Every structure is written in C-alpha cells, then in structure tokens.
Structure 1
Amino acid sequence: MTSRFEVLSIDCHNPERLAAFWCEVFGFTVLDRNEDSVEIGSWEPNVEDVRARQMPVTLVFVRVPEGKTVKNRLHLDVSPFDMSTKDEVQRLIALGAGRVDVGQGPDRGWEVLADPEGNEFCVVRSLAPGEFEG
C-alpha cells in the first residue's frame, strides 16, 4: 500500500493574494476557497483519479498569524516551457516576484525569486524547444 502526494500547503498572511499570484505563474484556477484558505490547481481532484494514479499536486494557501522569518526549508522549482528562463524571470517579476539572494552564488543556471510574501522559489532551465541543452 502507498500514499499519494495530493496537496502542498503553504502558510501565508493573505491566501487570496498568493493564490492569485501562483494562478498566474502556473495558469491554474481556484478549486476551493474559504475565509482562511484557497486551493488552486490544474485539474479538479476526484477520488477516482487520485486512487487510479498519481495526479498533479494542488496548492493550498492557508492563513496563519505569524510571518516568515527564515529561509524556506522547502521550495518550488518552476520550469518555463514556452520561453527562455530569462524571459520567465522577467514575467514573474512583473507579476510581483522579487529577486532573492540565499547564498546561491553567481551563474548557477537558475534564478532564485520570492513570491509576494517572501517564499523562495527557483526558476530553472527552460523546457522550451531549442532552450534545453541537456
């Protein structure tokens, strides 16, 4: 018997704001919301699909009172699939992301950004045709 990775929960102050940001990043839609949380995803979860196979993970943004104080121990890596990494970084900054230095050093092949509440994530190699060099 095994479990399925179904949801990644992210603590935040403003679930609506972060859900809107990440919906724009991934092209997701809001699946569920209440006063203290918003769930987003690329598909509408149902028991039959989850039992049959591993399905894409949904993200849930949960309101918490405390702020972020240290570097995340878990973060998302995103890969653009229809543009260069550089162009995707610029798009994400325009959506509200910011550049972050977590000690990664120069010229690593990825960019470290933070979402509007300071949660770090990486933009890694592009999967666009002609961009990926193996």
Structure 2
Amino acid sequence: MAYRFQVVVDSRDPHAQADWWAETLGWKVEPSDEDFIRSMIAQGHATEAETTVHNGVLVWASAQAICPPDQVGRRDRQRFLFQSVPEGKTVKNRVHWDVRLEGDDKDEVRSRLEARGATFLWEGHEGPHSWYTMADPEGNEFCLS
C-alpha cells in the first residue's frame, strides 16, 4: 500500500509563511470554511481565541495549508501545512525542498525572492548542475535549481 503525506513546516506565523510560499510556488492558499469554524465555536468545540482574521477571512489561528491550484479541494492533493509553534528556528534544517525552476532564470528568481524576504545562503555545484541554497523569511532552507 502506498501512503499519502503532507509536509508540515513549524512556523512563528503560519499565515504569512503560507502566503509567501503560495506566491513563490504558484500554489494557492487553501480556502477557509468560515461557516464550519463558526459552527465549531457555537457547538463549544473551539473558542474564538483559536481563530484570527487573515486577509479579511476568519481562519484557524494555528495553521494554514497551501496546494497546487488544480488540486484545491481534492483529498489526494499535494500539500504544505504551516503550523504555529512557540519557538523560532534555531538550527539548520535536516530536510529541505528543491524549487525546480523549469527554465526560469535562476538569478532573476533569486532576486525576486530576496526582494520578498528570502536570504541567499550559498551556491552549490555538482558536475554541470548548480543551485542556490536560500532561506525563506523564517529561515527555512530551500534550493533553487
């Protein structure tokens, strides 16, 4: 049996991270079900303190997910879930993701991402292949290749 999975990223601000990564990857922030959230509060299963308003929409405060635009709402979608944690990042990631640029100019993409809060860390090479290792606004490493 093959299992599905999602990548979960600990974040200080899951909504800002979801917005940043959705824009970076050309993905979509998964829509909030405001009626469901309100019904959970009304039934006593959640409190208003567990919610926030982000970009004018009622959302769960502790997490936000993104997925490819053609997969929104599908059960089998690819997914990053950004979840709130109290501590900031303190050490190098043991796992990172590679953003494959599919022909886009690596230097141009690097400049755009730096203008949006990413940090260039180093350039790597292996044979004829090269990549940039970057950090997102919360310091999570990723590569551009």
> TM tier, shorter chain?
0.7 to 0.9
Distance 1:76 1:24, change over 3 A: same
* Code of the aligned partner of 2:17: L
> CA–CA distance in 1 between the matches of 2:124 and 2:12?
33
Distance 1:24 1:46, change over 3 A: closer
Gap regions ≥5 residues in structure 2? 33-58
Aligned residues: 112
Could you say which residue in structure 2 is the equivalent of 1:90?
111
Could you say which residue in structure 1 is the equivalent of 2:62?
36
* Code of the aligned partner of 1:12: S
* Code of the aligned partner of 1:95: R
What TM-score comes out, normalization by structure 1 length?
0.76
What TM-score comes out, normalization by structure 2 length?
0.70
The 10-residue stretch of structure 1 (114-123 or 78-87) with the greater mean CA deviation from structure 2 = 78-87
Please tell me the root mean square deviation across aligned C-alpha atoms, in Å.
Answer: 1.6
> CA–CA distance in 1 between the matches of 2:4 and 2:26?
23
Q: Answer yes or no: is the 8 Å Cα contact 2:28–2:72 preserved in 1.
A: no
One of 82, 93, 99 as aligned partner of 1:78: 99
Listed as ranges, the matches of 1:1-134 within 5 Å are: 1-5=1-5, 7-31=6-30, 32=32, 33-42=59-68, 43-47=71-75, 50=76, 55=77, 57-101=78-122, 108=125, 109-124=130-145
Q: Answer yes or no: is the 8 Å Cα contact 1:13–1:67 preserved in 2.
A: yes
Which structure has the larger Rg over C-alpha atoms? Answer: 2
More strand by share: 2
User: What's the offset of the Cα at 1:81?
Assistant: 2.5
Encode CA deviations 1:3-60: one digit per residue, 9 max, x unaligned.
123x11000100111111101101111114511000111121434xx3xxxx5x2111
> CA–CA distance in 1 between the matches of 2:124 and 2:121?
14
Name the % identity: 36
> CA–CA distance in 2 between the matches of 1:9 and 1:23?
14
> CA–CA distance in 2 between the matches of 1:65 and 1:89?
29
